[in-house]
Amino acid sequence: MAIHTRTETYAPPAGLGGMPLMSAALVGVLALGAAFFLGGDHFYKGYLLGILFWVGASLGCLALLMVQHLSGGAWGVVTRRIYEAAARTLPLMALLFVPIAISLPHLFEWANPEAVAADAILQHKQGYLNVPFFLTRAVLYFVIWSGMALLLSRWSARQDAADAAGQEALSLRMQRLSGGGLVVYALTVFFMSVDWVMSLDPHWFSTIYGMLFMVNQGLSALALAIAVLVLLARTPPMSAVIAPAHLHDLGKLLLAFVMLWAYLTFSQFLIVWSANLPEEIPWYLTRMQGGWGAVSIVLIVFHFIVPFLLLLNRDLKRHGRLLVVVALWIVVMRFVDLFWLMGPLHGARELTVHAPDVLAPLGIGGLWVAMFLWQLKARPLLPLGEPYLQGALEHGKHGH
């Protein structure tokens, strides 16, 4: 397979921007506006749900990008531009986080002085759970995440125009940043999961929560990347590049993430249930009753059992249309799982779904997709300066 290294060879399709980009942005603005005017106080939970989902997709792509720089492999080379474009949406996510920052008392009991005054546990946790420190940490998270994403993207773009020695040097630089970056990613996501989700129920805690969120983000990112890659492979130039072997590799990785999600989710349940502590067990008791219990069953069946059984099939993993259906279904289940993790707020027990729970994530998603398309169309769809690009394309041609 001959490889052309001219930038225009793998230029994004002309239809990638323009109307799709503007349509996504318009949907985002209209959906957010509707969520705000229809939701009342329920708007804030839906908005946080949307932020968690789409920030998670960006962070998952950043993590997969760093894993690819460290491990190599054809699966990461053909999807690298997707990961880079998604990671570069983080500055937009930082801007969209501002409404959360100015509405903390609507979401978090620890941000409400009256609730703190009446609760000894909240008073004990005020050293960590207080508004100034929360906002400082949030700013630090976005600065670190955006910085790593922009550096990796900048070096990758420079690699396209470098000579052989420069390509190797930049590849080594990206590997070094990725090695330490994954550690930083793990630490920041752990604290982010505590700050933004676990503290919604400040009496409850779980030591496995941060790792669960890392897997959640990786699963969301991989499923979205597969969907985008299959859509790109329908038209030139990627239709001549993406082969069943590439999809097979990504399908196997998706299966591994599904299994890891199930393992960590069950591990958390087993630890909490066996300990049977009054501070921990009510979190699960609420989610095992009524409508929340039905959501739990839906997650067991449709987030694990069904995708697990489907992804065991080798032919499905090599068939683009079938694989993208499974990937998009997992994206939907990721949204349901995040809704389940957030659970009822402020002592409520019954399952209720309000318009902002759907409209706000849809609105943020529209803006995220518009930003993603804008970033994706700005560069060639393959990393032309990657030393292992030839091997990645040959893998698609000869892989079994």
Select from 223, 295, 233 the least CA-distant residue to 258.
223
pLDDT higher at 21 or 50: 50
At residue 4, the pLDDT reads: 44
Residue 254 in contact with residue 357, Cβ under 8 Å?
A: no
At residue 398, the pLDDT reads: 61
- Spatial separation of the C-alpha atoms in residues 97 and 95, rounded to whole Å: 5
Tell me how many degrees the CA angle 381-387-389 measures, rounded to the nearest 5.
Answer: 40
The encoded tokens of residue 274 equal: 């066996």
In this predicted structure, which of 96-100, 148-152, 201-205 has the lowest mean pLDDT?
201-205
Predicted confidence (pLDDT) per residue in 29-87, tens digit: 999 999 999 888 889 999 999 999 999 999 999 999 999 999 887 788 899 999 999 99
| All structural domains of the chain with their residue ranges | 11-386
399 pLDDT exceeds 60?
no
342 pLDDT exceeds 90?
yes
The encoded tokens of residue 158 equal: 């420079």
Question: Residue holding tokens 């998603």?
Answer: 365
Average pLDDT over residues 318-324: 94
- Spatial separation of the C-alpha atoms in residues 343 and 182, rounded to whole Å: 29
Question: Residue holding tokens 């630090």?
Answer: 140
Alpha-carbon torsion (60, 65, 68, 69), positive or negative: negative
Residue 59 in contact with residue 205, Cβ under 8 Å?
A: no
Q: What CA–CA distances, in Å, run from 333 to 214, 231, 239?
A: 16, 20, 29
395 pLDDT exceeds 90?
no
Select from 178, 195, 26 the least CA-distant residue to 101.
195
Q: Please, what is the average pLDDT of the chain? A: 92
- pTM beyond 0.85: the answer is yes
Select from 211, 217, 163, 177 the least CA-distant residue to 51.
217
For residue 190, count CB atoms less than 10 angstroms from its CB and return exposed for 0-12, middle for 13-18, buried for 19 or more.
middle
- Spatial separation of the C-alpha atoms in residues 394 and 258, rounded to whole Å: 28
189 pLDDT exceeds 50?
yes
At residue 6, the pLDDT reads: 47
Output Rg (C-alpha) for the chain, integer angstroms: 21
Average pLDDT over residues 210-239: 94
186-192 contacts: CB < 8 A, separation 24 or more? 186/210, 186/214, 188/140, 188/141, 188/144, 188/145, 189/59, 189/213, 189/214, 189/217, 190/214, 191/137, 191/141, 192/137, 192/141
- Spatial separation of the C-alpha atoms in residues 336 and 216, rounded to whole Å: 12
